[in-house]
Structure 1
């Protein structure tokens, strides 16, 4: 009603002013029509926005029973204090499941077509468990600052990245294989519709071993601003040729950014792929500059308002491999992977692990006479008895997904667990523990 009254008053003024001015009458009439249409568009946009918000709330109440559409993602609400995206204790090498028990099956189903396969030989892993809160992490380097923090009551540790063009990199990684994967979790706080459209998280692969961009590099920029749907940007650079690729990838990752997203990257030769949770956004076949040696992994954040918008990183894992496990299982009759992740101390499979289980199911569907033994292994945290029980439960959990989600006959699958009895690496380091937490598939 208010908008309609304003339109009438505005039109009355215009026509009163134009009365008797015959030379300008036609012009004023057109101006009045434009003003009326502009006001109508404003009303339409407002109604559309409010309708969209109501629709989102209704969908939330359906997809997440009991929420009433009022659940907020961690880090929202304008608070400067980040909220934990779910507890994940030591011994876990990635983020915990992003759903509670009531919606866990839904998440597994959502990820059932997720085709990311993590590398099977850990090059680097850091969850900051060996660092003290308040310190800068010992395995990282920066030309700025930053410190380890904890969030709420969770024992998890996060590195807070200082906004600005400050570089964070891993000095102990001096070379990278042709095929490898990178995974990490992002946590945010204080982001809202006032956050700059230029706010983003940069992931760079470079041939410079320290803080410079380098002669050859690739860079992917993930937007974190909330008031609009901003594109993911992908750029590469080769000395003498400049940027051969500088692309904007259509995306809307606003909700994911607020809810502790898990980022997965696969590099296979020149091909570069990136997933945010289960969705693949970047897949560029010749993104890595030909003939380059991109041996340094770097991060930075920019466009954030200091003291308000905050971004954290944790559970960074770099692993050799990420190649097709199907061929190896067919040719060798056995594959071992630490890419199937579980909630710490539990047999709950984290949904982003589904890429590997999907590949195993594809082999079994092709080779109908093949039967498998699924064997679980743990690290050395906890008692021998508890770890043996846990390893068997985890093998059973993998079998359950193969049977329930991918419809593999249960009579074709056996399970076993070895606990901590057959380590393949040092259990005194986070990277060693990550290697020891694995699942083995053996043809029988």
Structure 2
């Protein structure tokens, strides 16, 4: 009897312990569910930021009449909503996050691929294969180019050596936090899959771009040069990262999100073309790139205003069919704020423009709302409201044909006209 009593107590204790474990699991599951919902909500709010001058407005025609049968339009559910003014709190929050970002993209877009109208599983139509394999895919609802391990792709361009002496390159790269070992995207400014040797005998390896820094090896004047730059702020940040590169005759700067990870006064070579390689250790690595853009030029903003009475930028980006500004735009906006602080006599009419996709009235209203969002950001940075006017001109003043992705991207712009 005593034995049965002891066994009963043991079973009861085991049951209590099991119940406790179950309750703990339920609690953790609930916490994870709440956390996912919060992340989704925050992500949705953050994502309302700026897809348009670049690729935002291209997607809006799904809810309006489209006059261009050749337009590249993604028809997403969110596009069924009418565009709204950016909420000031959201806008100000984004401005704070990228407050030190000073990357300013080039003036003229020579390659722009937002992967719209690409068919999943096929090779990307605006690229060429250098090595390995690559295909169009979808990652969490985003159209991406998935490059197989050690695969290399390069944009299809009319000229072989198309990079000018001053240019910028931007793309979004995905870094899988669960992948084992190293995970890099390698960038080359020359053809082929190996290194590069210039006429002087100097040699260069590809630039390795990790989620938190870069590494770059070269041999110049028989001297070995190894650059390895890591940023602690980026150490635990995975997922999508925005990569931005600016080359000016000889100097090269590279940014990962808002952090500058390379400032090289002399690259030591003349870039000719651009390719990107997927370089990772884990065969199960989930990676890809999207929103690839190459632009020419990059003159000082104040110089442009003094010479032309205005400056034009394609670097202020908005969410699809929205007027909320993406954080990548803060490089341009930070420079505008600094210029206006340094030159108190400068006042601007901020003019928004769109491409020809969608109805005229819709485009005009959207461009006006985006101009107001730009003004709101600058007001949050301490610039007085009496120094601005805003205007939306929609598609009425194109600077390029609306028959190519590059033409549309150049038409989606913001102008700061001196008043």
TM > 0.5:
yes
**What is the match of residue 279 of structure 1?**
259
Which residue in 1 is equivalent to 2:279? 302
Gaps of 5+ in 2: 1-30, 58-85, 199-203
Counterpart CA distance in 2 for 1:266 and 1:409 is 31
1:161 matched to 2:138? The reply is: no
- Does residue 34 of structure 2 align to residue 93 of structure 1? no
Correspondence for 1:356: 332
Which residue of structure 2 aligns with residue 234 of structure 1? 216
Spell out the pairing of 1:87-166 with structure 2 (5 A cutoff). Answer: 93=54, 104-142=91-129, 143-152=131-140, 154=141, 156-164=142-150, 166=151
The equivalent of 1:369 in structure 2 is 345
The answer to whether the Cα contact below 8 Å between 1:263 and 1:275 also exists between their aligned partners in 2 is: yes
- 2:374 counterpart of 1:393: no
Contact 1:277–1:352 (CA<8 Å) still a contact in 2? yes
1:255 aligned to which of 223, 231, 236 = 236
Structure 1 portions without partners, runs of 5+: 1-60, 75-84, 225-229
Note if contact 1:90-1:129 (Cα within 8 Å) is conserved in structure 2: no
| 1:199 alignment partner in structure 2 | 183
1:120, CA displacement in angstroms? 1.2
- In structure 2, do the counterparts of structure 1 residues 267 and 163 end up closer, same or farther at CA, with 3 Å as the change threshold? same
Question: How far did 1:237 drift?
Answer: 4.8
1:246 CA drift (Å): 1.4
What is the deviation of 1:86?
4.9
Q: Runs in 1 of length 4+ with deviation above 6 angstroms?
A: 87-90
Shift of 1:199: 2.7
- How far the C-alpha of 1:236 sits from its partner, in A, is 3.3
2:304 corresponding residue in structure 1: 328
Using the TM superposition, name which of 383-392 and 421-430 deviates more: 421-430
How far apart, CA to CA, are the structure 1 residues paired with 2:53 and 2:40?
25
Q: Give distance in 2, aligned partners of 1:262 and 1:146.
A: 20
TM-score of the two chains, using structure 2 as the length reference:
0.75
Deviation at 1:244, TM superposition (A): 4.7
Distance 1:94 1:67 in 2: 30
Contact 1:92/1:344, CA 8 A, preserved across alignment: no
Higher relative contact order (CA 8 A, sep 6+): 2
Given that 2:218 and 2:224 are in contact with CA atoms closer than 8 Å, whether structure 1 keeps it comes out as yes
Counterparts of 2:48 and 2:390 in 1: how far apart (Å)?
Answer: 28
Whole-angstrom CA distance in 2 between matches of 1:425 and 1:269: 26
| Aligned residue runs from structure 1 range 202-217, under 5 A | 202-206=186-190, 209-216=191-198, 217=204
For residues 358 and 336 of structure 2, what CA distance do their matches in structure 1 show? 30
Question: In structure 2, the residue corresponding to 1:342 is in which secondary structure?
Answer: coil
Query: Is the contact between residue 94 and residue 184 of structure 1 (CA under 8 Å) also seen in structure 2?
Result: no
Of 304, 316, 323, 2:292 maps to: 316
Q: What does residue 420 of structure 1 align with? A: 395
Residue in 2 that maps onto 1:408 = 383
**1:426 positional shift:** 2.2
Counterpart position of 2:82: none
Residue-by-residue CA offset, 1:124-159 (whole Å, 9 max, x unaligned): 11112243221111221222111101234x3x4210
For 1:402 and 1:364, how far apart are their aligned partners in 2?
10
Which of 241, 245, 249 is the aligned partner of 1:269? Answer: 249
Farther off after superposition, 174-183 or 105-114: 105-114
Matched, 1:437 2:417: no
Name the SS for the 2:307 alignment partner.
Answer: helix
- Tell me if structure 1 keeps the 8 A contact 2:132–2:152: yes
Does the C-alpha gap of structure 1 residues 89 and 355 become closer, same or farther in structure 2, counting only changes over 3 Å?
Answer: closer
The Cα offsets for residues 76-125 of structure 1, whole Å up to 9 and x where unpaired, read as: xxxxxxxxx958998563699xxx97755322112122110011100111
RMSD between superposed Cα atoms in Å: 3.1
Contact 2:137–2:145, Cα closer than 8 Å, also in 1: yes
